[in-house]
Structure 1
């Protein structure tokens, strides 16, 4: 079941624009390598579990240990997961990311989960939408009234850790937003497969933690243009999740492509890094987002070492 994308999707009342000079040295992703090697044409589908009893607020994947550049990767899915460990009688969260290496060389990939001990009102809101072969989706998962989006994303349902390489999707946008007084998470996604897929859109929601705010930085991309840059949290706060979306253009297929999306740090500031390409024939304004809050108990960023 699908609903029409909301034209007021990315209302940004109270957010603060960041003024990060172009050419600034890009972030050191947290934690550092080891990372997972991905050969040319390869696909990785997985992540790292949080500690027992912890909840996950966000996560993603990025090329690490290679400086900064257009590494020609692409995010194909990003999903929150949970499991119950009967040996410890506790649950744990995981952020599972699907990333493909469309480059001609191998790259080192880090898979990240942002973990906390607990957040009051924590819940995952979701909506399943069938996307036809060659079809496009730009829609939202909405948090219950009185809660805010800590993170979000979209992936095939049911989830499979053995995602076949033949399944071909492109996540084009993934970002926080609002509609009226309700918080939500937007996803734009294209299904390039030859069969339809049921896509689960979701938002990780909770009561607003202390210091909660959504930071953003706007950049203008020319047709064919590429950006690999960051939105930073205020000093003393930490990043829970992030992403990017086209703003100021209504709602449509803007032919963008998210290539990397991951937490990091620079100059003692927590941030979210996004790499994105504008494959459209017109200029687009892209907003890079970081969802931030005061440090939560047990806060840590963990990485896959598979």
Structure 2
């Protein structure tokens, strides 16, 4: 177990170093041909019951529209709850979020929200899916690229293989033309094989496309949150987040568009706490 923990720390340290960026970055991609705005963009959200059982919350897009991006949030008992699945489903017209308690469980009630950004399918709309191999390392990532000439608007991801939240969905990273989903075993490890699923929501570059990110402070505070806001005149199309430095002991508890122009990511140390420094990063893909 110690060897696995050491390997996990080294892997996360290398990832954090490799991803080190300024606290606010903008990435833009110039593609051939004119860019058009995405019309009819709406934000849809719903919240399920408050109780102490595993649950899935689905939010459908209005008829004639598809999911461009989405996320979820846990309210209550956040140190024990993992957001294991955040994916477009049902022909990419619904956003699905699953939350489960870890192996310690909790007697407290908690609720789950799902938020999806919907619009009529933009030019070049395509959802590309991929999965890692089934294996049992302490952490693993899977990258999915958009077809050449398209940009990533949103990201979906999941960790599969555990009956409780012993696997943590750590990263839902959006790059200009790809997405990366990273999962990790929790602080007590996980003996069986498991898998990471990744989905890139792609389209031709819309007018005003920008990829923004911002980081929370790097510290050992037990709960951190960061919000990134679109530039003037742009609205959120896609949502992402990642944890840097948590070593399997920090969980994403909110990754969602809190408005049509802003994305918030929140993360919480597990119920055993974590003595190291870590931070959470929020991604927003915005366009006209």
| Matching residue of 1:78 | 86
**Cα–Cα, structure 1 residues 130 and 58, in superposed 2: closer, same or farther, change >3 Å?**
same
Aligned 8 A contact 2:61 2:118 in 1: yes
| Matching residue of 1:25 | none
1:61 aligns with 2:64: no
Aligned 8 A contact 1:136 1:253 in 2: no
Q: Distance in 2 between matches of 1:241 and 1:174?
A: 11
| Matching residue of 1:230 | 227
**Cα–Cα, structure 1 residues 126 and 44, in superposed 2: closer, same or farther, change >3 Å?**
same
CA shift for structure 1 position 100: 2.9
- Secondary structure of 1:195's counterpart equals coil
Moved more, 127-136 or 225-234: 127-136
Residues 24-79 of structure 1: CA distance to partner in whole angstroms, max 9, x if unpaired? xxxxxx6676x212323x22224122123311111122246x8xx96754311211
Question: Which structure carries more relative contact order (alpha carbon 8 Å, separation 6+)?
Answer: 1
Gaps of 5+ in 2: 1-14, 28-42
Gaps of 5+ in 1: 17-29, 84-91, 158-162, 295-306
Q: Distance in 2 between matches of 1:215 and 1:38?
A: 33
Q: Distance in 2 between matches of 1:166 and 1:32?
A: 25
Match among 268, 282, 288 for residue 288 of structure 1: 282
- TM-score, normalising length: structure 1: 0.68
CA shift for structure 1 position 274: 1.1
Q: Distance in 1 between matches of 2:128 and 2:21?
A: 20
CA shift for structure 1 position 275: 0.8
- TM-score, normalising length: structure 2: 0.72
Q: Distance in 1 between matches of 2:95 and 2:45?
A: 18
Q: CA RMSD in A?
A: 3.5
| Matching residue of 1:93 | 93
| Matching residue of 2:172 | 174
More helix per residue: 2
CA shift for structure 1 position 115: 0.9
Residues 224-249 of structure 1: CA distance to partner in whole angstroms, max 9, x if unpaired? 532123111123322122222356x8
**Cα–Cα, structure 1 residues 62 and 166, in superposed 2: closer, same or farther, change >3 Å?**
closer
Aligned 8 A contact 2:78 2:268 in 1: no
| Matching residue of 2:236 | 239
| Matching residue of 1:210 | 207
1:132-281 residue pairs with structure 2 within 5 A? 132-133=135-136, 135-155=138-158, 165-166=163-164, 168-178=166-176, 183-191=177-185, 194-246=191-243, 256-265=250-259, 270-277=261-268, 281=275
CA shift for structure 1 position 191: 4.4
Residues 256-306 of structure 1: CA distance to partner in whole angstroms, max 9, x if unpaired? 4211111112xxx62111111366644335432111111xxxxxxxxxxxx
CA shift for structure 1 position 198: 3.5
Aligned 8 A contact 1:239 1:271 in 2: yes
